[in-house]
Structure 1
């Protein structure tokens, strides 16, 4: 088996506002089991599809997609910080192949990543430099947003490139499912906050970083008691989305427009496009089988929390 996939929700609220102990233990078991399956697969290369939350990408230049050739993590919300083990030549090759297949992706030689990228590496791999990783950013919060179709085509292009490698490739998708935490929107802010969204937030002062962290923590505490305080989670949509992935019928999502998704499941639900890209990449290895599905709405993390693995049926 040359490819394996795992997609999982992330949340900056891990360890800050946790659900009751039984739920926390349940999630930790899901993560531990996934980590063991990945270790058994023993990947040579990770391709990580992840969003950003105005920590690395801003409106000074906001691409729909970006492939990192060099990357480091900022360590927000107490997550791991430092450089990732990015194989630069391979990442450059990937970016070239994607462009040759008609998908416009930016490249970065100084990619800055946040918890959305580092949590899966920490929880599932055990660190930022354990296994070579190519980070692929998919814009999931800053309008205008890419469509489901473009995310799918990006994943297919990367998968086609990866299928030609003599490597065992792990596709990771990080984000979602339904959720809408208090993320600022450029159209609704001005002054300093607008300036931060336009790029000055790339090097946020420590006191502002702490205030931002506490704002999200406080919102989660309120939401866990009153789910009308933010856009409600949508378990029905989440389960439908997971069923689409299980059936392998990714193109059915092409007709879902961005505003419809925001209205139904929350504005940050666009992070599920990382899952779509990851599954589209895996589909380049042929038909696949999903396993170990997990889902639970967790208000304390302002998230419909999901986890899903898959492997190609072909032994190539």
Structure 2
């Protein structure tokens, strides 16, 4: 029984709007080192906490949390497409344990996921099916949103379950840090877009998906030139957040409201709740120590881009 943690920002913009080569090389080194550490740990099970961007979860039914019994990546922005290697019996046992711990989480036997799930599996494990993975969705864009405390309790429940498995378990978190790309909001869109958010966007025609992706790419290009065109990145808050997680002080975030977080760091910063859940899961194995961390604001990717790894002290 052992555990390892890796948190990593994701970006659909890599290869579409990129920073200077020196920054790309820097990020590549961070990813390569994280992948090497994961290879050395040799996980038998991955539990991946990630958000969605109105590609798999919609307002027809929008859970705060959902545990996948099976999952398929759509391949948006050129990321890997296809099935994830989900061990159904283990995923079912995990969902049962979470509910018994008092945390309400939906389940899906047909989970559709996007780059938020696919990219970390691709970059850190070499593909979608390289290791058994239980995908855990945390709603980070569709109000009403779960708060930090609920995300922490979800992670603690999943960590307690993982401790019973007698396996090497890798907790992955994908998303964040400060950012606010152009994500539609149900209260502010026209009837056609509202219909997409209500569920018809689940299987977009290829031309419409391409147009949607181009809007994000153009927004990133504008943001690179004029960082007042979107909510600004907040490196100070990002670094404070990394300090809190690196020191295992997740409960300090319980009192930070969703409205406060959006104002501080942008409406898509709620993706950092995946990091909180993953760190809380690791904490179920006892006190932990951060091994490495990385941070750089990257306007080209509309993101405060970060990474954090840790493992139990004992």
Structure 1 residue 166: Cα displacement: 1.3
Distance 2:291 2:313 in 1: 12
SS of 2:269's partner is: helix
How many Å separate the matches in 2 of 1:206 and 1:128? 22
Q: Is residue 87 of structure 1 aligned with residue 62 of structure 2?
A: no
Give the whole-Å Cα distance in 2 for the aligned partners of 1:42 and 1:2: 11
Q: Give how far 1:246 is off.
A: 1.3
Report the Cα distance in structure 2 between the residues aligned to 1:231 and 1:168, rounded to whole angstroms: 40
SS of equivalent to 1:34: helix
Partner of 1:38: 38
Residues in 1 aligned to 2:270 and 2:19: alpha-carbon distance in whole angstroms: 24
Distance in 1 (CA, whole Å) between partners of 2:292 and 2:5 is 11
1:77 equivalent in alignment to 2:77: yes
TM-score by length of 1: 0.99
Query: Residue 49 of structure 1: SS of its match in structure 2?
Result: strand
Structure 1 residue ranges without an equivalent (≥5): none
- RMSD over aligned Cα, in angstroms? 0.5
Alignment correspondent of 1:63: 63
CA distance in 2, matches of 1:291, 1:303: 23
Does residue 218 (structure 1) correspond to residue 218 (structure 2)? The answer is yes
Aligned to 2:14: 14
Scaled by the length of structure 2, what TM-score is found?
0.99
Q: Secondary structure at 2:274's aligned position in 1?
A: helix
Is 2:269 aligned against 1:269?
A: yes
1:8-52 deviation per Cα after TM superposition (whole angstroms, max 9, x unaligned): 100000111010000000000000000000000000000000000
Which ranges of structure 2 fall in alignment gaps of 5 or more residues?
none
Residue 142 (structure 2) pairs with residue 142 (structure 1): yes
Once the two structures are superposed, residues 74-93 of structure 1 have per-residue CA deviations (whole angstroms, 9 ceiling, x without a partner) of 00000000000000000000
Counterpart of 2:125? 125
* Equivalent residue number for residue 199 of structure 1: 199
How far has the Cα of 1:2 moved from its partner?
0.6
Deviation, 1:190, is 2.2
CA positional deviation for 1:257:
0.2
Q: In the TM superposition, what whole-angstrom CA distance separates every residue of 1:188-229 from its partner, at most 9, and x where no partner exists?
A: 012110000000000111111000000000000010110000
Q: Measure the CA separation in 1 of the matches of 2:189 and 2:80.
A: 30
- Residue equivalent to 2:241: 241
Q: Give 2:54's aligned residue.
A: 54
Deviation string, structure 1 residues 154-187 (Cα, Å, up to 9, x no partner): 0000000000101100000000000000000000
Match of 1:254 in 2: 254
| Counterparts of 1:269 and 1:7, CA distance in 2 | 14
Q: How far is the alpha carbon of 1:113 from its aligned partner? A: 0.3
Counterpart residue number, 2:112: 112
For 1:51-87, what per-residue CA distance to the aligned partner results, in whole angstroms no more than 9, with x for missing partners?
A: 0000000000000000000000000000000000000
Q: How many residues align?
A: 314
Q: CA deviation at 1:247?
A: 1.3
| SS of 1:296 mapped into structure 2 | strand
Q: Return the offset for 1:284.
A: 0.1
Write the distance in 1 (CA, Å) between the matches of 2:185 and 2:253.
Answer: 25
C-alpha distance in 2, partners of 1:166/1:84? 22
The aligned counterpart of 2:155 is 155
Take 2:291 and 2:269, find their aligned partners in 1: how far apart are those partners? 22
Counterpart for residue 310 of structure 2: 310
CA distance in 2, matches of 1:311, 1:246: 10
Aligned to 2:5: 5
